[in-house]
Structure 1
């Protein structure tokens, strides 16, 4: 689940920014929820205007859905419609951070794009009425923010997150900027609040997606790297689950690849409204 203020993938936001340099990001908000359970797959990302949102220090309301801090946990209530067939997506989940972090680092040379995990390790309780799903498991919660569209600074990036022994979480950000400069982050977040830098292993090429996006992953060798499942295969973005090696451990990595030129192409911008409808 991703909550957007100024939806970074929104074609409506991109079109508004082309017309004016002063665009209110709160006029382009959305909740993206992807459900991958066999037989219950749903995907929703309806964009809403500033007239349908409100937010303060603890609450963020987007149309009928909301995110709210309740003491020791974040509660998310979802009431959306999936695309393309309009099925209901309704229910709630609760995220209980094991440790909150106040950490942020830049992803680009200019410091205009920043990322940081709020709860790199958390417990989640999911209870949905439509589709009917109920489960508990491990979760991860982070935040990205920027002062300009990502299309200005970036060419592409690969991101991955893996759970390590001892309750630790490792994140790798492998960023290629348009100016040719690469930025590589390797960080381990400890359950006691410590943050440790590490040197990620060499870059390995993964098989291209159905849309011919080149995925890459930091791993000691090509032989020990395996795609377990591709969850999202779109013209500009891929989300995958990998079996890989990291810091001497065999891990399951959650992996994402973003191809920025593909995102900004006229063909993709034309297709996006079918996937991301907008209402007031």
Structure 2
């Protein structure tokens, strides 16, 4: 998110593109044949890019992850993301430039989201300084961000019906909340406070508070101090089953604006969703590196 709160972006690198209809239709047998670097920018001139690419486009090394024309490179002190993608309809245009994330500290936290470890959350760097330099007017700015990962051996909709997640910057670092309802009827409700030195400690999450439903009428809720009503400050991604937004809340007496996500996996299982997604997520099976 930019320092003035007017622009933000997200970058998600996939091996086995979780929300790709092409990966689902393939039976999810070959995750390396459905790879993607999804880039979405929010604010004036915002664009959404998500191209499902085949294994020809994938290159990996210890410090670099490349999918076709875009890549992520860990230098030892920062994550450098080189973007060269095409925005999805109706705003078809190139999204190109460099994003740099410099972690304040790295963590060693690894949190299972299910009892048998089929889904794991790995917050590498919940607090980062961020520099954005994209080839578009107004898309050169500094701000704050985070760097995390999710790993899984099963599809999300096989284990969950609904979840929300939020990361909120604080004076001492960042606080994250993970809430999920599993298909077996159990629930996950975790709060983690990350200090600027990378130390993590679990906290008792404050109460859940409802947020207004999304444009697709997706139910949303966040965490906040008792008596405080969270509110959306910036709309980001809005899909029939998934929403991302900047949300202002209050945690332990401190007002903060962070990124909030809600995901309805029951909706995602609908057979109507995959064809809709295919319109926004093109498939490019072949790639040749120069």
Same fold (TM over 0.5): yes
TM-score normalized with structure 1 length: 0.94
> Are 1:142 and 2:152 counterparts?
no
Considering fraction of residues, name the structure with more helix. Answer: 1
Q: Per-residue deviation at 1:229? A: 2.3
Q: Is 2:9 the counterpart of 1:4?
A: no
Name the structure 2 match of 1:190.
195
Any conservation in 1 of the 2:246–2:257 contact (CA below 8 Å)? yes
> Which structure 2 segments of 5+ residues have no match?
1-10, 286-290
Q: Cα gap change, 1:223/1:187 in structure 2, threshold over 3 Å: closer, same or farther?
A: closer
For the 8 Å contact 1:7–1:29, the answer to whether it is kept is: yes
State the secondary structure of the residue aligned to 1:67: strand
Correspondence 1:174-253 to 2 at 5 A? 174-221=179-226, 223-253=228-258
Q: Is 1:128 matched with 2:138?
A: no
Q: Is the 8 Å Cα contact of residues 35 and 42 (structure 1) preserved in structure 2? A: yes
How many residues get paired?
Answer: 274
Deviation track 1:3-23 (CA, whole Å, cap 9, x = no partner) reads 1111110111111127xxxx1
- What is the match of residue 121 of structure 2? 115
Displacement, 1:221?
3.8
1:204–1:222 CA contact under 8 A, matched in 2: no
Task: Give the equivalent residue in structure 2 for 1:13.
Answer: 23
Residue 64 of structure 1 deviates from its aligned partner by 0.7
SS of 2:225's partner is coil
Higher relative CO (Cα under 8 Å, sequence separation at least 6) belongs to 2
After the TM superposition, which segments of 4 or more aligned residues of structure 1 sit over 6 Å from their partners? none
List alignment gaps of at least 5 residues for structure 1. none
How far 1:135 moved relative to its partner? 0.8
SS at match of 2:268: helix
1:71 alignment partner in structure 2: 76
Matched, 1:164 2:194: no
Q: Distance in 1 between matches of 2:226 and 2:233?
A: 16
